[in-house]
Amino acid sequence: MDLLPIVLVIAFFQTVVIRQPLPQMGEVLFGTLLIVLGLSLFIQGLEMGLFPIGEAMAQALARKGSLFWLLSFAFALGFSTTVAEPALIAVAAKAAEIAGDGGLIDSSPESLQQYAFGLRMSVAFSVGLAILIGVMRILRGWPIHYLIIGGYVLVMLMTIIAPKEIIGIAYDAGGVTTSTITVPLVAALGVGLASTIRGRSPLTDGFGLIAFASLLPMIFVMGYGLLIFK
């Protein structure tokens, strides 16, 4: 059911537009079967494992009443899940290669590696900080749109002063940070917190953590570019 649109799109383009037979039909069918099986297991596991533990932890930490531990949990969750994210590692390596070719940084392997590492660290740090700010927002009940609009204005200001070569990567960095395992956990954390604290609605206040996690990395990556390229 979830995959039907993909199958239709590919079938349509292969038969009508490109008019070439599909390569390795058997392999493709087998792969599709795996995807369907994997997706249903994943959803089953979400409801049994990730959602309950995320909410239970959020509630336990809120009841404990220690702001310090709640915020450090939020930061650690964002930082630790992002620093090892494969999509981010791939994008950072690609970005280093491009910066090296463009003569923006020294193109020796060590300096490329250092640049990629710095990029990953700034993204991971910014995601940690984003979840922390998001949790603060839920606690204090700040309206989300002021924070997000403020973030947009910052992104635009940074775009004016940041080196041109980093802008595309910085904008994309916002999207690739939130992995498939982080998202359910972060959503459960937000909803769990918002339903424990009196006066907060899970719908208005519980969501929004992921939005911060896709906004802050843009600002930080451009900041990193400013720092490194000068």
206 lines the binding site for other proteins (CB under 8 A): yes
Distance in Å, CB of 160 to other proteins, minimum: 9
Distance in Å, CB of 116 to other proteins, minimum: 15
Distance in Å, CB of 142 to other proteins, minimum: 11
64 lines the binding site for other proteins (CB under 8 A): yes
CA 114, CA 161: separation in Å to the nearest integer?
23
46 lines the binding site for other proteins (CB under 8 A): yes
227 lines the binding site for other proteins (CB under 8 A): no
47 lines the binding site for other proteins (CB under 8 A): yes
- What is the longest distance spanned by two Cα atoms in the chain? 64
* Candidate residues 149, 157, 161, 227; the one interacting with other proteins per rule CB under 8 A: 149
Rank residues 174 and 223 by Cβ distance to other proteins and give the closer one: 174
Instruction: Centre a 10 Å sphere on the Cβ of residue 53 and count the other Cβ atoms it contains.
Output: 14
67 lines the binding site for other proteins (CB under 8 A): no
Instruction: Centre a 10 Å sphere on the Cβ of residue 85 and count the other Cβ atoms it contains.
Output: 21
Q: Kindly determine how many residues on this chain lie close enough to bind other proteins according to the rule CB under 8 A.
A: 106
The contact mask relative to other proteins for 99-118 (x = CB under 8 A, - = no) is --xx----------------
Q: From start to end of 1-128, where are the E strands?
A: none
Q: Which of 184, 181, 186 is nearest to 213 (CA)?
A: 186
Angle at 67 between CA 182 and CA 46, to 5 degrees: 25
Long-range contacts of 36-44 (CB under 8 A, 24+ apart): 36/2, 36/3, 39/2, 39/3, 42/180
Rank residues 101 and 106 by Cβ distance to other proteins and give the closer one: 101
Distance in Å, CB of 9 to other proteins, minimum: 4
